[in-house]
Amino acid sequence: MGSFKALCNVSLLQLFIVLLCLVFQCFATDLRTTLVVDASDATGRPIPETLFGIFFEEINHAGAGGLWAELVSNRGFEAGGPNTPSNIDPWTIIGNESSIIVETDRTSFFERNKVALRLEVLCDSEGDNTCPDEGVGVYNPGFWGMNIEQGKTYKVIFYVRSTESLNLTVSLKGSNGVGNLASSAITGTADDFSNWTKVETLLVAKATDHNSRLQLTTTTKGVIWLDQVSAMPVDTYKGHGFRTELFEMLSALKPKFIRFPGGCFVEGEWLRNAFRWKATVGPWEERPGHFGDVWMYWTDDGLGYFEFLQLAEDLGALPIWVFNNGVSHNDEVDTSAVLPLVQEALDGIEFARGDPTSKWGSLRAAMGHPEPFDLRYVAVGNEDCGKPKYRGNYLKFYHAIRAAYPDIQIISNCDGSSRALDHPADMYDYHVMSSHMSFITTDMYDYHVYTTANDMFSRASTFDRTSRNGPKAFVSEYAVTGKDAGTGSLLAALAEAGFLIGLEKNSDVIEMVSYAPLFVNANDRRWNPDAIVFNSYQAYGTPSYWVQLFFSESSGATLLSSSLQSNSSSNSVLASAITFQSSVDNKNYIRIKVVNFGTSAVNLKISIDGLEPNSLQLSGSTKTVLTSGNVMDENSFSQPKKVVPIKSGLQNVGKDLNVTVPARSFTSFDLLKESSDLKRKGSDSSTWSSM
């Protein structure tokens, strides 16, 4: 009996081991995939020069308090509306009711923004009612705190008038008004300031505080009026007003175009609050500003039409101007009355492209840019195709622009992916929210998609089925949203990477691609996720931002024919291959991008055909991997590089490479070539940016 029991125990143990091995094999399958790349001259296909760009919308305080470096919020006191007295937020009074009374009135020097701030100072430097030692007045905290850095210079400009002699102190104060970072005294007689007078002063910071504020105070009795108070660092990009580190993050993407200024920002909930370009040009002091009622905040329009065009030029990107076509979210202009808006659009094109002696070209020249901007694309509205007046209005814009500027590419909001468009256009709109789609028609169309991670990844094949003779797509807004995205997850980024590989491989029918939204101020999240997160002094890229860098060399490169062969039925791996010449070292590279969306690592054999023997070099060839310990990992101010690409040298390079692609990862293999035979004439690509 005892021997039989022992035998049974051994048999049970063996059976357990066999079952364990079977289970282990189920979960640890040796996933083998082969990527075959044809690198010969005969099969390469040019990728459009314009394929990858960016889309800027004034959302999440992306411009006001973000890319636009103005430190003062509500600088013209107009945010409270035209009626006076009005709310002056975020301006705050320094002093109590016995020492100062502050209100707005309509006495401004500027015709388009009549509201000014009136300070009636009741205390004095001596007598029965003496002012506090630091004076009374107002302060502005900027956009959730002003970033003031030691040694840097800040230009403060404001307009002032006074009934008495003026003794005004302009200062940068630390958090909660503690600590004097820099100050300047503005003094003069009553005659000096009896009329509106422009004052400029430079303040050099003695210390650093990321939560500073601007103060204007006095200890002299009288009435003082203030208007158009501005404070900006002098070290903006090229002096053009762009916050340098945010601009540099955009520049690193090497965008070929920039679509602006929206998005819903262009439409407005109501037309009275839509972005109108003429109100955003000319001297900044004369711009009335407006309330963006879609994203619910005021902008002084310091970042206006001119500045967007300048931004495009500074980035080396083509501007794509989106203008209002008489349609908002809630009201519309009848087609019979839309011609004034048509003329406004024509005037806007003249402002960008006209001769410096023309009416609107001369205004551009007066703003410091006599040469025309390179405006080649305009979009008639944003996501308006389903509105009753859109088609009729669109035709008015189309024919007028085509007659005046026959070379301008005109983008319709209507989709051309399924049937013939019922109106002419050069580009068209295709909007997808989650799995819902609507169709309409055209030669090129604007494709928007916000959806889940799995659905986004599956859309890599969307354009495989598109007719090669049909319309081309402008994928101007895409992102994974909802719980899969969080505020910027690795999961979302990997799904988008797969989608972009599909777009790159179908770039014969896709003209342009851009992510949305681009920026978010962490203090004002109106939309999640976003590519770049910032506050007054910090910034980081989400994983979705870093994915875009993998494609920064694709525009104008050559797409190589490639195919995946796998021993698994899973479709979790996607790949593409390009060749490009670096503008940094003038050397040729093959870049192979691989997304593994699955939960298991993949053993990948890369086989490259069509190359001369020993034409790939080990020295200079690299591997870059984007992954993390958890697919829902995100970057943050405390861990800005938790999920970023990591570059390393390759251990071996040859016609055949055997590599392991980690689970839930995006990998780029950059293979340095010996010769320049694969360079496409006219390519303007460069090497992978340092991480």
Sequential DSSP letters for 17-34: HHHHHHHHHHHS---EEE
Query: Same domain, yes or no, for 312 and 435?
Result: yes
Taking a C-beta distance cutoff of 8 angstroms, is the pair 518, 476 a contact? no
pLDDT at residue number 641: 97
The alpha helices in 113-216, defined as continuous H runs, are none
Higher pLDDT, 463 or 415: 463
Assigned domain for 85 exists: no
Query: What is the amino acid identity at position 120?
Result: E
pTM flag (> 0.85): yes
pLDDT at residue number 14: 42
pLDDT at residue number 569: 58
How many domains is the chain built from?
A: 3
Query: Same domain, yes or no, for 322 and 410?
Result: yes
pLDDT at 6 over 90: no
Query: Same domain, yes or no, for 329 and 438?
Result: yes
Work out the widest C-alpha separation in the chain, in whole angstroms: 120
Query: Same domain, yes or no, for 355 and 402?
Result: yes
φ, ψ dihedrals at 656, nearest 5°:
-120, 130
Q: How many residues does the chain have?
A: 691
What is the rounded average pLDDT of the residues 615-644? Answer: 96
Assigned domain for 75 exists: no
Taking a C-beta distance cutoff of 8 angstroms, is the pair 500, 462 a contact? no
Report the distance separating Cα 404 and Cα 382, nearest Å.
22
Assigned domain for 510 exists: yes
pLDDT at residue number 426: 53
| Per-residue pLDDT tens over the stretch 342-354 | 999 999 999 999 9
Query: What is the amino acid identity at position 103?
Result: E
φ, ψ dihedrals at 589, nearest 5°:
-130, 150
Assigned domain for 240 exists: no
Query: Same domain, yes or no, for 516 and 466?
Result: yes
**Boundary of a domain, candidates 551, 580, 599:** 551
pLDDT at residue number 470: 66
Taking a C-beta distance cutoff of 8 angstroms, is the pair 610, 596 a contact? no
In the predicted model, what is the mean pLDDT of the chain? Answer: 89
Copy the structure tokens of residue 150. 């030691």
Assigned domain for 86 exists: no
CATH number of the domain residue 139 falls in: 2.60.120.260
Report the distance separating Cα 206 and Cα 360, nearest Å.
43
Query: Same domain, yes or no, for 219 and 283?
Result: no
Higher pLDDT, 148 or 16: 148
What is the rounded average pLDDT of the residues 645-666? Answer: 94
CATH number of the domain residue 417 falls in: 3.20.20.80
Query: Same domain, yes or no, for 510 and 616?
Result: no
Q: Which long-range contacts (CB under 8 A, 24 or more apart) does 107-111 make?
A: 107/225, 108/76, 108/196, 108/227, 109/159, 109/196, 109/227, 110/76, 110/227, 110/228, 110/285, 110/286, 111/286
**Range of the structural domain that residue 207 is part of:** 92-233
| Gyration radius of the chain's alpha carbons | 30
What is the rounded average pLDDT of the residues 325-348? Answer: 97
C-beta atoms surrounding 376 within 10 Å? 17
Report the distance separating Cα 119 and Cα 88, nearest Å.
12
Tokens 């410091």, residue? 368
| Per-residue pLDDT tens over the stretch 278-290 | 999 999 999 999 9
| Per-residue pLDDT tens over the stretch 200-223 | 999 999 999 999 999 999 999 999
**Nearest to residue 95, comparing CAs of 75, 122, 73, 72?**
122
Report the distance separating Cα 673 and Cα 168, nearest Å.
66
Query: Same domain, yes or no, for 390 and 491?
Result: yes
Q: Which of 190-204, 232-246, 401-415, 473-487 has the lowest mean pLDDT?
A: 401-415
Query: Same domain, yes or no, for 326 and 372?
Result: yes
Assigned domain for 579 exists: yes
Angle at 647 between CA 643 and CA 650, to 5 degrees: 140
pLDDT at 685 over 70: no
What is the rounded average pLDDT of the residues 528-547? Answer: 98
Assigned domain for 317 exists: yes
| Per-residue pLDDT tens over the stretch 439-455 | 233 345 778 899 999 99
Query: Same domain, yes or no, for 504 and 381?
Result: yes
pLDDT at residue number 445: 75
Higher pLDDT, 359 or 24: 359
| Per-residue pLDDT tens over the stretch 587-618 | 899 999 999 999 999 999 999 999 988 889 98
Query: What is the amino acid identity at position 275?
Result: F
pLDDT at 568 over 80: no
Report the distance separating Cα 270 and Cα 293, nearest Å.
8
φ, ψ dihedrals at 160, nearest 5°:
-145, 150
pLDDT at residue number 422: 52
Query: Same domain, yes or no, for 209 and 287?
Result: no
Most confidently modeled range among 4-8, 105-109, 562-566? 105-109
**Boundary of a domain, candidates 498, 524, 551:** 551
Assigned domain for 4 exists: no
Burial status of residue 508 (CB atoms within 10 A of its CB: 0-12, 13-18, 19 or more): middle
**Boundary of a domain, candidates 233, 259, 294:** 233
| Per-residue pLDDT tens over the stretch 45-94 | 999 999 999 999 999 999 999 999 999 999 999 999 999 999 999 999 99
Query: Same domain, yes or no, for 206 and 250?
Result: no
pLDDT at 669 over 90: yes
In 3-state terms, the chain is what percent helix, strand and coil (to 5)?
20, 35, 45
